[in-house]
Amino acid sequence: MNTSATFVLVHGAWLGGWCWKKVIPRLRAAGHEVFAPTLTGLGERSHLLTPGVDLETHIEDIVAVLEYEDLTNVVLVGHSYAGMVIAGVAQRAAPRLSELVYLDSFLPENGKFLNDYLPVPHSSVDGWRVEPLGPPTAFGVSSELDIAWMTPRLGAQPERTFSQPIDLSAARTSALRQTFIHCSHFPCFVEAAERAKRQGFRFFELISANHCPMITQPAELVRILLTLV
């Protein structure tokens, strides 16, 4: 029986598709297809950063990957901020998806935006760009090699990705399997994890990895992802 799946890995704020570098070869070695697109304005697409880039832009980025690559049976993984993105994608492209995986991420509710889940909203430096919260250690990364790798790759996030409300009125996520992987003690993600458990999501913990398990504990993260398929 063919048990291969397609993973689409969506990075969090200030990161890029590059952050999945340790995960991609492990999933491919297990026989799965993997895509790790970079959202508009981040990573190698930072030259496209403009004030007009918003949550809707990033949702369209991922929907376009699904459609142009003609992907089906997709395990859609969203890290951190990308919990907002994958929930929006499911409203547009649910037939192409088999599962949503919230990786230490926000778990959005209809009409809310990311800043609703923070005690203090992310503020911009110039009215539209939000600089990274800090060095890689602020993301829970402690290895000197990983810090040296991440530091030059972190980039500003367009502010409207944090302040645009999400439309989940179509409620199409209820037809999909949903999983939450809890990795950190940040209050916003603890709250999301507890809500996911109450809603009956499949639930895993990888607390020792902290907020960026794809960087700090990729083998352990891949083992969890492989159990889903």
User: What SS3 state is found at 111?
Assistant: coil
Task: Measure the CA angle with vertex 159, ends 103 and 191; round to 5°.
Answer: 35
Q: Which of 46, 80, 105, 163 is catalytic?
A: 80
User: Which uninterrupted H or E stretch holds 19?
Assistant: none
Active site residue 80: yes
Q: Strand, helix or coil at 129?
A: strand
Q: How far apart are the first and last CA of the chain?
A: 12
Cβ-Cβ contacts under 8 Å for 187 (sequence gap 6 or more): 119
Map residue 109 onto helix, strand or coil: coil
The answer for residues whose C-beta is within 8 angstroms of residue 205's C-beta and 6 or more apart is 181, 182, 183
Burial 35-45 (b: 16+ CB within 10 A, else e): bbbbbbbbbeb
User: Helix crossing, 55-68 with 82-93: angle to 10°?
Assistant: 50
> Whole-angstrom Cα distance, residue 11 to residue 7?
13
Question: What positions carry a catalytic annotation?
Answer: 80
